[in-house]
Structures are given as structure tokens and as C-alpha cells.
Chains A and B, each alone.
Chain A
Amino acid sequence: MRDYVGKNGFAGVIIGLSGGMDSALVLALAVDALGAARVRTLMMPSPYTADISLLDAREMAQDLGVRHEEIAIEPLVDAFAAALQPQFVGLTPDTTEENLQARIRGTLLMALSNKTGWIVLTTGNKSELATGYCTLYGDMAGGFAVIKDVYKTLVYRLARWRNRRAGPDGRAVPVIPERIITRAPSAELRPQQTDQDSLPPYEELDAILARHVEGDEAIDAIVAAGHERAVVEQVLRLVRLGEYKRRQAPVGVRITPRAFGRDWRQPITTKFRA
């Protein structure tokens, strides 16, 4: 990250904080790599944002000494809803409204990037990118995807690992608030949402993904390794459907034998199922 930012001449980085695990790890990484003075954070709460998300993000940014700002997106959500109302009349709310929130945040982050010349670090992990559990032009909007090749289970491990260690400045206190690591992961795009409404538990998901993405294993082989067929089929289907999103995702660091980058050259258009 330091090289990507430095070699391409960016003065600093901007991170959209959600109060969740991924953006917290990216913030910790950014401060370790660049120093707090070259990092700023933006929290963009909606009515679905839990109070503890706001508090935890604020606490972490303050502890690390980065410039932290908040822009509530509710008025923007309302403005979009009003503009779209004639087209959406009679249609039930669905992921469209959820994605709009993510896209409003993406637009705000990119505006800040545009104005300051600082690059937006996206915060999506490999499990999300693999399954398409992310929003194009929303949380995928940005210049560098720091943890795009880090599975969610490894995200947690890295967070705990980082908290056990002193940073480059010798600071020994845990930099990531404990509650961010222990609470259930949620996109907070609708009430009481958790990631596991849409995805299998991350331990199971990541094990399946590693076999398929890095091991080129098909459904039968993954089932033979002890996973439930219906789950494997669902995961591989999501991987396939997410290809068009991955092709539009920012570049990021490769840490596994096969990242979603130069080493993953799948067609978007394919009828093959396995």
C-alpha cells in the first residue's frame, strides 16, 4: 500500500469507515503504512447505522490520530428516493434501495478524493468480492483495494494479531476496538441485517472459496471434501455471477496463490457450471 500510494504520487488516502471490521483493518493498515497524517476517514451514517458503529469508528480514528469526519446520508437518500419515486411507484423496496446507500457513500468519497487528490482505499475483502457481496460504484468505488485478497476469516485473524502487537511507532495499545472484532458482521443497509442472512458462515464460505478459487475444484470435489452440496452450489453460483463486478473492481495486493487480478482470467460470459 505504501508503494502504491507513494510511487503513484498520492499525498494521502481516504477511507470510508463503517464501524465494521473491514474498514477498521484497512484504517489500521493505512496508519501503519503511511502515518496518521496521510490518512483521513469519513463516516457516512444512515438511519440503519447502529450507534455503536458510530462510536467505535470515532474512537478508533481518534485513538490513531487521523482526521475524521461525518456526513449523514439520510437527506441524500431521501432526495434520490424522491427523484426515483415516479419510476418506482408500486415496486417493493429491495436491494436497489440498499445499494443506493452504498452508492451515495461512494459518490461522497470520490468527491472528497477528487477535491483533495487523495486516493480512496476500498475496504472489501476476498470473501465479499468472490461472492459479489458488494456494490458496484458503491463500496467498490475507489482507487486501491487493500484487502481484496484477504478472506474474511483472515481479516479477523489479522485484526487480533495487530491488536496483540505494538505498531511501528511503538504504540502497544490495541488499535482496533474489541467490539468491532466481536460483533456480528453487517452491511447495515437495512434493519437487523447480518452478512449471514445472505452468505454461509465465513469459516465454511472461505473453505469452499479456497478450494474453488485457488484449487480449481468443482462442485463434486468440494462436496467430497465434506461440504453440503446445496451450500457449495450456492457459493459457486455467486462466484460466477460476481465476475462482472470483479472485472470493474480496483486493483489491490495479492497475498494468496490466486488473487482476483492477473491470475484470475475467467470469462464473464459463460454457460459452464461446475
Chain B
Amino acid sequence: MKLVVAQFNAVVGDLAGNTRRIAQIARQAHAEGAHVVLAPELALCGYPPEDQLLRPAFLAACADALAVLARELADCTGLHLIVGHPWRPAKRQAVDDDLRAASEWEPQHGPMAFNAASVIREGRVLGTYAKRELPNDHVFDERRHFRSGRDAGLGPLVLEVQGLRLGLLVCEDVWTDEPARLACAAGAQLLCVLNASPFHLGKAAEREQRMARLARAHAVPLVYANLVGGQDELVFDGASFALDAQGRVQARAGAFVEQSLALHCDAAGAPAGGVEPLPELESQA
């Protein structure tokens, strides 16, 4: 199975531009034989959109952009695009019971959307996963802006591609144990993690260490897709990577650059690809 991590510089609020960019990367990856393209957390709208997430018009525009993206890639036969986006379930959306229950309970005040990851194939949204663990510390404000998939009673999302079962997770999900445990219990053989993980000195190494522990704890390989680029006071440093089930780095994209990181995964999900070095401290700074 061939998977491409779309490490790119999303622009907050530029739904049309981000959609175009993701479609372009996905189309290129498909032409090169990719079965899966993994875009980062909230790649569709950029991260963090902050209080724009409280505006119904913004959430509606995100839904439209997702539909445009699906249509745009409808002719890419066999391609699965996994993309992060805000998701406010429509009232009459044809969904399974769990999702219907979640959509019918919408608070009058506070957040309306999930921090979600959808799988798109041949013009259709196959499924949507809602982030369970919402960080509210440091620079994060996600309890203000999002509903948690866990609180809404939603479950893991596992998807089979080329005989390999992929489990979707979003950022903070993998800094705790439960979401990965649920995904593995649901049969995931490779964890696909969408991230918008901001930079600080030494952060890339910190991420790899934490993810290595997670991979070993569940004996599962893991792909970590991160955004790259500056947004107000935050910098996203990319340095997306893939680990085997022993937690060893098997592929890494460059830091502070856009890059499509191509991975070949064997039948057990073990990834392999190019390994860029992590920049030394002075170079990071």
C-alpha cells in the first residue's frame, strides 16, 4: 500500500486555496500510484481558525469546500484522501445511528463543530472521524471551539485499503491512550494521525519519542502528518514521520518545508520511506 503525507502550508480561512492545494497534491500522488493521501488536521481551513469556528457561515463554507474537494477528485479511481476539517453534522444527513444521535444533540451555546477527519473516495465521503481528546492547555483552545467525539458518543473509524486496516486519529488523541486503544481494538493495523502540532525548540524529537511509546504500547505502526507554515504567533514545523510497531523512525519529511512524503507500507502496515534529518537547535531557531 502506498501512502503520501501531504505536508503543506495551509492558509487560515482560505478554503478555496487550501482545497485547490490539497486536490493538486492528491492528484499528483494518485498519478504516482498512491492509494492513500493523508492531509493534516484542519487542513481544509488552516489551524487554528479560532473564533471563526463559532460562526455558522464559516462552518457551512467548510462543508461546501469538502464537497468541492470530493467532486474535484472524483476521477481519481481508488484514491483515498484523508483530510482534516471542521464538521457540523447536518440535521438530515444520512448517517448511521451513532452519528444521527450526535447531530440531533446540538448545544444552544458553545461549540457546534467537531474537529474531524474525513475519508474521501471517488467523489464520496466514506466516513468521518471526530477527535476525542480536545487540548485546552498551552496555546490550545479546543474546548471552546469543538465538541468531542467521545462526549457525543462517537466511535473510532477504521478503513480498509489494499487489505490494510487504517485507524484515523487526530493530534491530541495520540498524546493520551484511549483513542489509539479503541482504534486498535477496532482492528487498526496502521494508525494515521492528522496533526497541527506547533513548533517549539526540540518539539519534533519530543513528538517522535511520545509516538514511539504509543506505537510500542499498542504494537502498531503509525504515520504522523503535520502542517507546516506560520499562523500569527504560531509556527508549524512539518517534520511529519512514520514509525514501525517498535517505534523506530522509518520515514521523515523535512522540517519547515512543504513536502509530499511517500511511504510504502507492507502487508503488516510497516512503513518505509525517505528519512530527512531533524535540524539541530540553532537551525530550528
A272 pairs with B51, CB closer than 8 A: no
Complex: how many Å from CA A272 to CA B45? Answer: 9
Complex: how many Å from CA A216 to CA B51? Answer: 9
For residue A218, CB closer than 8 A to chain B, the reply is yes
The tally of residues in B whose CB lies under 8 Å from a CB in A reads 23
B positions within 8 Å CB-CB of A = 11-15, 17, 45-46, 48-52, 54-58, 61, 141, 144, 231-232
For residue A266, CB closer than 8 A to chain B, the reply is yes
Interface 0/1 of A261-274, CB less than 8 Å to B:
00011111111111
* Given A218-B55, A274-B58, A274-B61, residue A268 in contact with residue B141 (CB < 8 A): no
B55 pairs with A216, CB closer than 8 A: yes
A269 pairs with B55, CB closer than 8 A: no
The 9 A-B pairs at the shortest CB distance, nearest first, are namely A272-B13, A270-B13, A218-B57, A271-B14, A274-B57, A271-B13, A216-B55, A270-B12, A265-B50
B50 pairs with A267, CB closer than 8 A: yes
A-side contacts of B54, CB under 8 Å: 216
B17 pairs with A272, CB closer than 8 A: no
Complex: how many Å from CA A269 to CA B11? Answer: 8
A-side contacts of B13, CB under 8 Å: 267, 270-273
CB distance from A225 to the nearest CB of B (A): 14
B-side contacts of A272, CB under 8 Å: 12-15, 45, 49, 52, 58, 61
A271 pairs with B52, CB closer than 8 A: no
Complex: how many Å from CA A268 to CA B54? Answer: 16
Which residue of chain A has its CB nearest to the CB of B56?
A216
A271 pairs with B12, CB closer than 8 A: yes
* Given A216-B56, A218-B57, residue A269 in contact with residue B232 (CB < 8 A): yes
B51 pairs with A269, CB closer than 8 A: no
B-side contacts of A267, CB under 8 Å: 12-13, 48-50, 52, 231-232
Looking at chain A's contact residues, the main secondary structure is loop
B58 pairs with A268, CB closer than 8 A: no
Interchain residue pairs with CB less than 8 A apart (7): A216-B54, A216-B56, A218-B58, A265-B51, A269-B232, A270-B12, A272-B49
A positions within 8 Å CB-CB of B = 216, 218, 220-221, 264-274
CB distance from B200 to the nearest CB of A (A): 19
CB distance from B139 to the nearest CB of A (A): 11
Checking A220, A221, A266 against B52 with a beta-carbon cut-off of 8 angstroms, the contacting residue is A266
A-side contacts of B144, CB under 8 Å: 265
B17, B46, B56, B57 interface centre (most CB from chain A within 10 Å): B57
Checking B50, B56, B57 against A266 with a beta-carbon cut-off of 8 angstroms, the contacting residue is B50
A270 pairs with B17, CB closer than 8 A: no
B-side contacts of A273, CB under 8 Å: 13
Which residue of chain B has its CB nearest to the CB of A212?
B55
B-side contacts of A274, CB under 8 Å: 55, 57-58, 61
16 new A-B contacts, CB < 8 A, other than A221-B57, A271-B14, are A216-B54, A218-B55, A218-B57, A220-B57, A266-B52, A267-B12, A267-B49, A267-B231, A267-B232, A269-B11, A270-B12, A270-B52, A271-B11, A272-B49, A274-B58, A274-B61
A-side contacts of B48, CB under 8 Å: 267
B-side contacts of A268, CB under 8 Å: 232
B54, B58, B232 interface centre (most CB from chain A within 10 Å): B232
B11 pairs with A265, CB closer than 8 A: no
A216, A269, A272 interface centre (most CB from chain B within 10 Å): A272
Complex: how many Å from CA A221 to CA B60? Answer: 13
A-side contacts of B46, CB under 8 Å: 270
B52 pairs with A264, CB closer than 8 A: no
Checking B49, B56, B57 against A270 with a beta-carbon cut-off of 8 angstroms, the contacting residue is B49
CB distance from A156 to the nearest CB of B (A): 29
Complex: how many Å from CA A274 to CA B15? Answer: 12
A-side contacts of B56, CB under 8 Å: 216, 218
A-side contacts of B232, CB under 8 Å: 267-269
Complex: how many Å from CA A85 to CA B72? Answer: 55
A266 pairs with B51, CB closer than 8 A: yes
CB distance from B257 to the nearest CB of A (A): 20
CB distance from A252 to the nearest CB of B (A): 19
Complex: how many Å from CA A221 to CA B55? Answer: 12
Complex: how many Å from CA A35 to CA B48? Answer: 45
Which residue of chain B has its CB nearest to the CB of A272?
B13
Which residue of chain A has its CB nearest to the CB of B15?
A272
CB distance from A208 to the nearest CB of B (A): 15
Complex: how many Å from CA A268 to CA B58? Answer: 16
B-side contacts of A271, CB under 8 Å: 11-15, 17
Complex: how many Å from CA A273 to CA B12? Answer: 11
